Amino acid sequence: MAESDISHHAAAEALPLRDAFAVLFFVSVGMLFDPGFVLASPLQVVATIGVIVIVNAVAATALVLTFGYPLRAALNVGVGIAQIAEFAFVLSNLAGDLHLVPSEAGDLVIAGALGSIALNPLLFRASELIEPWLERRAFVPGLQGRRASSGLAHLVPAIDRAGPRRHVVLCGHGRVGSVVAETLERRNLAYVVIEHDRRIVEALRARNIAALYGDAGEPLTLERAGVKEAVVLVAAIADPIAARRIVEALRARNIAALYGDAGEPLTLERAGVKEAVVLVAAIADPIAARRIVESGKRLNPEVYVVARTHTEDEWRSLRGGGADVAIWGERELAIDIVAGTLRRYGVTPQELAAITRGLRRL
């Protein structure tokens, strides 16, 4: 089901059950945990946590690499499962009933589960630090094998390298990225898509669109997309961690980029908002967008602020906060639908323009 077209719908339907079982699991583990056992057998507990974390992470990372996935994806998978959960308790109880393990095994499993879960956020941070070191090791390409070098991680078809490319590197081809791509196509502007969903990459390549599979935060992936010769890089990605890694990769190539909370005056000052002509707040979070608008206007009253919004209340809030232009996405969509419908009934362009102006004033 995970590989089907209804995977997202199935996941949404199962989400409430997942949350309920997650709460039940953590409450149960906390009630079963015996701090006295940790104090009595600290070396055994540390050894158990070490085996769980190291064996799971290394085995999963190596396995993902052998299937040709990028190193970043492999590390995310490896770190993500560098812990044990409810199935470990089932196995532990079964082994105890069969007298295959001593009675203390249950306490070790509980301590190991809590320890590995507590370490997991730190492991994600450690994976970012160790990634550059692993990239320089010869065994990583060896594990990835031919799949990484000849698969979706490289451009097919390749961009013409005979002259200046002046293309757009589009990171992400979701709801926002696809609209950007369609606009670029209509203007006959060259672009390259970087996407972490293999199905999207395969669909784009079937349409002869230059697309590659990988992590847009990886310098190697950006290089393969030709970021050095690109005119514009669009980060149409919702994941803040991925966005940060894209910023870091851009900075490594001397491209002006700043990571931080755009609603913070200090961040806007560092970006040079006082000398800016236009400030664009293309952020879905209405609270963050309002803070950006207010901070930008406070630092530079002359800056022209353009912001996006999803509801009428958000639109009014941004306009009240000082936005010169607040684009209400759903209203613009409705206006386009109305215009397309009326055009089929023979309404003239002049009438359509008057109607759309009236709708925007509502």
**Pairing state between β 325-328 and 232-235:** unpaired
* Percentage of residues of the chain with pLDDT beyond 90: 2
What is the per-residue pLDDT for 241? Answer: 60
Q: What are phi and psi of 250, to 5 degrees?
A: -65, -40
Is pLDDT of 146 > 60?
no
Q: What is the pLDDT of residue 236?
A: 60
The tens digit of pLDDT for each residue in 67-98 reads: 777 777 788 888 888 888 777 777 877 887 78
C-alpha separations of 219 from 85, 122, 146, 324 in Å: 34, 23, 20, 36
Q: What CA–CA distance (Å, rounded) separates 108 from 53? A: 14
Question: CA-to-CA distance for 313 and 286, rounded, in angstroms?
Answer: 10
> For residue 160, is pLDDT > 50?
no
Q: How far apart are CA 234 and CA 247, in angstroms?
A: 11
Which pLDDT band holds residue 139 (cuts at 50, 70, 90)? low
d(CA 308, CA 329): 7
Average pLDDT over every residue of 311-335: 80
Q: Which residues pair with 168 in a beta bridge?
A: 191, 232
Q: How far apart are CA 330 and CA 312, in angstroms?
A: 9
pLDDT at 260 over 50: yes
> 3-class DSSP state for residue 303?
coil
Highest mean pLDDT among 49-53, 122-126, 167-171, 323-327: 49-53
Statement: residue 152 has pLDDT above 60: no
From the centroid of its chain, how far is CA 208?
A: 25
Gyration radius (Cα) of the chain, Å = 26
Answer with the residue of higher pLDDT: 31 or 271: 31
Chain-centroid distance of CA 280 in Å reads 21
- Residue ranges in 136-285 assigned as alpha helix (H): 139-150, 175-186, 198-206, 219-224, 240-251, 265-270
- The more confident residue out of 27 and 51 is 51
pTM of the complete model: 0.46
Q: Taking residues 22-42, report their average pLDDT.
A: 79
Range from 79-88, 208-217, 240-249 carrying the lowest mean pLDDT: 240-249
- State the average pLDDT for the chain: 75
Q: CA end-to-end span of the chain, whole Å? A: 44
**Separation of CA 263 from chain center:** 20
| C-alpha 77: how far from chain center | 14
User: Regarding predicted confidence, which is higher, 251 or 348?
Assistant: 348
Per-residue pLDDT, averaged over 257-273, amounts to 66
**pLDDT at residue 362, rounded to an integer:** 61
Query: With 80 as the cut, is the pLDDT of residue 265 above it?
Result: no
pLDDT at 340 exceeding the cut of 60: yes
Domains and their CATH numbers in the chain: 14-147 (no CATH), 151-258 (3.40.50.720), 260-362 (3.40.50.720)
Single-letter residue type at 339: A
**pLDDT score at 197:** 80
Report the range of poorest mean pLDDT among 106-115, 185-194, 244-253: 244-253
157 CB-side CA count, 13 A: 8
Contact between residue 214 and residue 198 where contact means Cβ atoms under 8 Å apart: no
Percentage above 70 pLDDT, the chain: 71
What is the pLDDT averaged over residues 238-257? Answer: 63
The pairs formed by 272-279 with CB atoms below 8 angstroms and a separation of 24 or more are: 273/299, 273/300, 273/303, 274/299, 274/300, 275/300, 276/300, 276/303, 277/303, 277/304, 278/303, 278/304, 278/305, 278/306, 279/303, 279/304, 279/305, 279/306
State pLDDT tens for residues 294-305.
Answer: 777 777 787 777
Specify the higher pLDDT residue, 14 or 349: 349
Cα angle 151, 201, 2 (rounded to 5 degrees) comes to 100
Q: Which residues pair with 278 in a beta bridge?
A: 304
pLDDT number for residue 47: 92
What is the mean predicted confidence (pLDDT) over 218-225?
A: 76
- Give residue 158's pLDDT: 42
Residue 209, pLDDT > 50, answer yes
Average pLDDT over residues 226-240: 69
- The set of residues, in sequence order, having a beta carbon less than 8 Å from that of 234 and lying 6+ positions away, is 168, 169, 170, 171, 172, 177, 180
CB 109 within 8 A of CB 25: no
pLDDT value for 147? 47
pLDDT band at 264 (very low <50, low <70, confident <90, very high): low
